[in-house]
A and B are shown apart, each in its own frame.
Chain A
Amino acid sequence: MSQKKKSGTSLLYQLIGEARGYDDAIIMGRGDPDFDTPPHIVAAAKEAMIHHHNDYSPPQGLLPLRQAIAERVKRVNNIDVDPESEVVVTNGGQEALFLMVLAVTSPGDEMIVPEPNYNTYADSLAFAGGVKVEVQTYAETDFRADPGVVRQLITDKTRSLLLVSPNNPAASVISPSDMREMLDIAIERDLMILADDIYDLFVYDDFQHVSPASLPGGKERALTLNALSKSYSMTGWRLGWIVGPADLMARVAELKAAISGGTSVISQYAGIAALTGPQDAVEMMAEAYRKRRRMVLDALDEMGMQYGMPQGGQFVFADIGFTGLDSAEVAQRMLTEQHVLAYPGSAFSKDRKDYLRMTFLQPEDQLLEGLERMKVVMDNIMAEKK
């Protein structure tokens, strides 16, 4: 198949483009919540258009928003930051991610990255001239990144360790004891930590999210990103942030100014409303994802797919190796035959041709319909195999 040669991102864009051509497509790929942004946040944006559209914002963001972020990371993540000097507002988690990578990476520097991972990390590292050193994780062990393996991969070029918890696409959550050990390794070997907490409000069963910056010795060497995209259904607003120690954050602020100058004040006011206003919509959405996750897992069990138990996040990464087919081919067949789009694992990592990522970011009826359609394709594939 021609897709094999394409980069992960371009393969995804090709599939998304094809999916757009089908009126009845069910998109189980993109990490975009189906819920629209809660109305009180939209109302706050409208207010800002009337009263604040000409407001000056420094590149690191409006102070009231930075204060709301500082309050949020204290309340949710137990990270103490000074809103004046330790918070930078960004154009979504994506800009935060790019900035974090740039902030700690010079050409030739190595970053340890649990795999599979969100591809933008590799792309950002490539931009910075850094080198990705992979810690492989597997469905059988629920995609746990083993600190012992991390320890073995450190060289004198290693500068940083990336910890995405819950992880995209693997949906694994780093346990409190593993997190402590990761931080100990970072301290021992003098590494910076990049923590991506974007899915921190989506943790299931008894799993627990811990921010490395909240642990003793963590804050001074950790940059932590988050965004309103996933938790408040605000992907289109492009609002995220980084928090970290003042010395490194001064560098982050210069980098932010250099790459985009600032962040729309309308989105920033919407962000203040999101963080300081009523939180029931967030809880309602999180509850919906919990329920849908169960539905997806039940359907995958029925299809005989193996997966790492999604401990957090908004997706499941399932092993389809038993079909004997490349996931790009399976994803293509699902799309062409049944108009359902799941993302092939090869879009996340060249070593993940056996995996498919499915999100649970669709209304329940669509999700069930999508799973039904996937089952038809899987049945066909298995029948052909016989």
Chain B
Amino acid sequence: MASNTKSAILAQHRANDDLNTPLLSQVARADSDLAADGMRSPLAERIIAAASAALEDGQTHYVDVPGIGPLRAAVADYLKVSSGANYRQGNIVITAGLQESRFLSIQMIGEQYDSIALPAVVHPGVRKALGVRSRNPRTMPVDPARGYLPSIDAIAETASDGCRLFYLESPSRLSGAAFTAGEVAAISQILADKDAALIWDQGLAPWVDGAYASPAALDSDCARVAAIGEAYSGMGLASWFVGYIAAPEAWVPALQSQKQIMAICTSTASQYAALEADQLYSEARTRQLSLLGGLRADLLSAASQAGLRVVKGGAVNLIALQLSADNMNRLRRVGIDFAAGRLFGAPDLVRLNVNHSTAAALAALS
């Protein structure tokens, strides 16, 4: 028998474009897949050994909702060393990956504000998270010349309009462009002047070659900025779904309580693996950074020879191109999967991951 109740639920569902936004996969499905959010990376023997030892040792039970203590401490230390942020163990909530970090922070920090300002070009996971329960999003225009980041003026204007919660990516999940130290200082000033708060997606920060500027470093008493990211990207853990939120102490109880409601805790195998990855990260990341940096430099010159327009970006793990519809079709025809800028809000862009297969994609365009 047909159900009207179900039909009503489904009709409402179909009308919810935000919730139906397609997501990108967490790792590549094949060598020709340059669309994924995370990297396919080798997994160190030591990580396998540590995660298996934990499981064999009986770490197969529920653990603390915000994560195992040592991992929370390691993430806080890592954030201090890598970006100068002042978070401590008690500020950290370990999540089941970046999308959970997005969902929890947007929904629970969002609950405390009337609206949330988003860049017009942002990862589709943001709109998707808002599709579950809207937090009254407002859009800030972005500047193509700045890698599709919103300008400081746009942020200031939105704050002056009374919006007191911001969601920003640095580097941008589409272009890899990151805010400069000067811009970050200006953002911090706006937050302080307007008593505003910020969710800061810094998941791609490890792939910035050179100095990385974080507003969390300027938030000396950790009161306004929640930083989110995937934990130890590039360590072969993309499919293990482990991420973090580093949040002001006042926000942690709400995040923790919602994490309890929707997951109880994060998988122990993932947490113990991440804990071991922390030990190896400094060296492994430096190696990967230089490898990807070299590959990307080659891609940039190939793109320039082919007359392609590369979007200004900083992160070495991806390259964003402005492409005609014809060129996008060409990529599809040769079987290259790319992240369509359309999903982010920039229909004429594509994002390609930087790896050993990317050169073939550019060759198809020249």
Q: Is B279 an interface residue (CB 8 A)?
A: no
Please report the C-alpha to C-alpha distance between residue A45 and residue B50 in the assembled complex, in whole angstroms: 13
- Are B43's CB and A264's CB within 8 A? no
Residues of chain B from 96 to 126 with CB closer than 8 A to chain A in the complex: 96-100, 103, 125
Which of A119-127, A338-346, A376-384 touches B?
A: A119-127
Contacts of A55 in B (CB 8 A): 27, 239
- Are A220's CB and B3's CB within 8 A? yes
**Nearest CB on B from A350, distance (A):** 18
- Are B267's CB and A261's CB within 8 A? no
Residues of chain B from 209 to 263 with CB closer than 8 A to chain A in the complex: 236-242, 257-258, 260-263
**Nearest CB on B from A273, distance (A):** 12
Contacts of A251 in B (CB 8 A): 9-10, 13
Residues of chain A from 229 to 269 with CB closer than 8 A to chain B in the complex: 233-238, 247-248, 251, 254-255, 257-267
- Are A248's CB and B264's CB within 8 A? no
Q: Is A104 an interface residue (CB 8 A)?
A: yes
Contacts of B61 in A (CB 8 A): 32-33, 36, 235-236
Please report the C-alpha to C-alpha distance between residue A235 and residue B267 in the assembled complex, in whole angstroms: 9
Q: Is A312 an interface residue (CB 8 A)?
A: no
- Are B128's CB and A191's CB within 8 A? no
Per-position binary interface string of chain B over residues 32-59, scored 1 when its CB falls under 8 Å from any chain A CB and 0 otherwise: 0000100011010001100110011011
Residues of chain A from 1 to 49 with CB closer than 8 A to chain B in the complex: 9-10, 30, 32-33, 36-37, 39, 42, 45-46, 49
Please report the C-alpha to C-alpha distance between residue A248 and residue B10 in the assembled complex, in whole angstroms: 7
- Are A102's CB and B63's CB within 8 A? no
- Are B52's CB and A46's CB within 8 A? yes
Q: Is B84 an interface residue (CB 8 A)?
A: no
Q: Is B265 an interface residue (CB 8 A)?
A: yes
Contacts of A258 in B (CB 8 A): 19, 99, 103, 125, 128-129, 131-132
Contacts of A362 in B (CB 8 A): none
- Are B3's CB and A57's CB within 8 A? no
- Are A260's CB and B10's CB within 8 A? no
- Asked if A53 meets B43 with Cβ closer than 8 Å, knowing A37-B60, A262-B26, A265-B240, the reply is yes
Contact of A56 among B10, B23, B132, B239 (CB under 8 A): B239
Q: Is A352 an interface residue (CB 8 A)?
A: no
- Are A57's CB and B6's CB within 8 A? no
Q: Is B290 an interface residue (CB 8 A)?
A: no
- Are A56's CB and B240's CB within 8 A? no
- Are B98's CB and A261's CB within 8 A? yes
Contact of A102 among B1, B97, B132 (CB under 8 A): B132
Contacts of B40 in A (CB 8 A): 54
- Asked if A45 meets B62 with Cβ closer than 8 Å, knowing A103-B9, A123-B261, A258-B129, the reply is no
Please report the C-alpha to C-alpha distance between residue A30 and residue B63 in the assembled complex, in whole angstroms: 12
Q: Which residue of A lies closest to B5 (CB)?
A: A190
Per-position binary interface string of chain A over residues 55-74, scored 1 when its CB falls under 8 Å from any chain B CB and 0 otherwise: 11111000000000000000
8 intermolecular pairs with C-beta atoms under 8 Å apart: A53-B48, A53-B240, A56-B239, A103-B9, A237-B60, A248-B6, A248-B9, A260-B263
Q: Interface residues, chain B, CB within 8 Å of chain A?
A: 1, 3-6, 9-10, 12-13, 19-20, 23, 25-29, 36, 40-41, 43, 47-48, 51-52, 55-56, 58-63, 96-100, 103, 125, 128-129, 131-133, 236-242, 257-258, 260-270, 273
Q: Interface residues, chain A, CB within 8 Å of chain B?
A: 9-10, 30, 32-33, 36-37, 39, 42, 45-46, 49-50, 52-59, 91-92, 94-95, 98, 102-104, 106, 120, 123-124, 127-129, 159, 187, 190-192, 217, 220-221, 233-238, 247-248, 251, 254-255, 257-267, 270
